[in-house]
Amino acid sequence: MKDVIGQDADWWRGAVIYQIYPRSYQDSNGDGVGDLAGITARLDHIAGLGADAIWISPFFTSPMKDFGYDVSDYCDVDPMFGSLSDFDALVARAHALNLKVMIDLVLSHTADVHPWFAESRKNRTNAKADWYVWADPKPDGTPPNNWLSVFGGSAWQWDARRQQYYLHNFLTSQPDLNLHNPDVQEALLDVARFWLKRGVNGFRLDTINFYFADKYLRDNPSLPPELRNDSIAPSVNPYNHQLHLFSKNQPENLEFLRKFRDVLRPYHAAAVGEVGDAQRGLEIMAEYTSGGDKVQMCYPFEMLQPARLTAGLAALTFDRLAAAAPDAWPCWAYSNHDTVRHITRWGLSDAAARVYTTLLMCLRGSVCLYQGEELGLPEAEIAFEDLQDPYGIQFWPEFKGRDGCRTPMVWQSDNALCGFSTAERAWLPVTAPHRPLSVAAQEADPAALLHHYRRALAFRRAHPVLAQGAMTGWQAKGEVFSFIRHGDETVFCAFNLSPDAATVTLPEGQWQAIGTDLGGVAVTAGAVELPGWGCVLARKG
């Protein structure tokens, strides 16, 4: 299906989406903070990488207590980042480069200075009194239930004006909207319409499974220690002590997502949701993306885990996904603005980073790349006095927060802030290990990781079966993860996710090696010897 300007309505299926954290991409005005005009100036880099779309983290008007994920005006640009005209110029330039534009919508909560909340908290009878999740205290004055905040402590904050508690799944300054109220739903759908009319091609939906809370506010059950998982919150956070059965993942979300899909449909726009759940992330992702009537894609945290993705974990992930919903559509990511960069998190060598990149480009699903990932940036070490993230400040030093993955992009190696800004000081420091990994330095080195990313993205585009074809026969044999992609051609893929050599047996038939510039080894009938961190990419012919 094509729209009136020839856009493929399924452009998102198998797309490579490049995430931009706007505070840290490019500063155009010398204030030490990245902005929209800076992004526009650097779009050629993303187009040259071979990405299909960009996702821009929030740039809306905000008090910035959670750096834009606390919105005070959904339909305007914070002056820190520029203006609506700057955004329009960004969209125009992106589209000229054949890049789709997706923006981050935070629909589960607002800032506590949002006009909606300012009215809601005045009293219990105003027009927006029921726009947020309010509840009376227990008879002893304590919160209405045992729900915990992702950022630590109770998920309830007392408000003296209403003499009630309000729900906040994150900071106390981020009150949760009450999506059980149809007026709230319609207001949020209007936000999506506003940006679609400005030319955006879709949305990344923050905390998509937090939209609804249990209307009866039932207590969450405890979670035994052996079942606790630190993929959503650090292990030092008591949030991991509960099974969040009632504070998120509610069935009412499905009908709202159908309404959201109806808003997207006339624009042929797409949405990718963030599913934050340590126990059922894949199953929820399958539920939200199956059937063709909810969001197109979600990314779970299976590949954002602290533990390195092994062959066994990869096979288990696809087993679970197939069992939950064969037609579900994942969007895979190794890194983003909330997690330790995967180079550091998984302790990857250059050779390991390359094979994981190639694997990502061969998986069924869409892909998110995080800015600087193409440079192999490690997690930055940030001194406590330089921390900006309230999450890190709260749990320091056992958990250092998210600043280490949010430091400025490094464009060149021969200037104080590596081409990010002309200011004397950026909002976060540029650390020494990043300096030699700059774009300019890697452009000049044919063996640099940046060129491997370009080749990997070009390989995916040259073989559409990798983006949109079926995937069968996945298995883990030792540390080798292998599978077959089917479509207009048949491609066998095998990846040795260890430093030790391994043997791979190709399926029956005649196979021709492809992707040799990505490290793919030559193939012969029968067994193939794979070096450590090696791969086989072969086309049936």
Catalytic residue positions, numbered:
206, 274
CA torsion 81-85-90-93 (nearest 10°) is -160
Helix (H) or strand (E) holding 383: none
Buried b vs exposed e over 147-183: b needs ≥16 C-beta within 10 Å? bbbbbbebbbbebeebebbbbbbbbbbbbbbbbbbee
Task: Give the phi and the psi of residue 480 in degrees, each rounded to 5.
Answer: -105, 125
CA distance 477 to 13: 29
Tell me the backbone φ, ψ of residue 287, rounded to 5 degrees: -65, -40
- Alpha-carbon distance values, 150 to 155, 235, 465 (Å): 8, 12, 39
Residue 368 to residue 530: CA distance in whole angstroms: 28
* Residue type for position 98: N
Q: How many Cβ atoms are within 10 Å of 145's Cβ, its own excluded?
A: 21
C-alpha span between 53 and 47 (Å, rounded): 9
Calculate the alpha carbon distances from 1 to 258, 330, 357 in Å: 20, 21, 31
Residue 204 CA, distance from chain mean position: 8
Q: How many CB atoms lie within 10 A of CB 289?
A: 25
482 closest CA partner among 469, 495, 499, 465: 495
Comparing C-alpha atoms, which of 431, 448, 435, 417 is closest to residue 25?
417
Which residue shows structure tokens 């694997």?
359
Cα–Cα distance for residue pair 33/110, rounded to 1 Å: 23
Q: CA quadruple 468, 474, 479, 480: dihedral positive or negative?
A: negative
The label of the residue with tokens 């998982």 reads: 229
Q: Helix count (H) and strand count (E) of the chain?
A: 14, 20
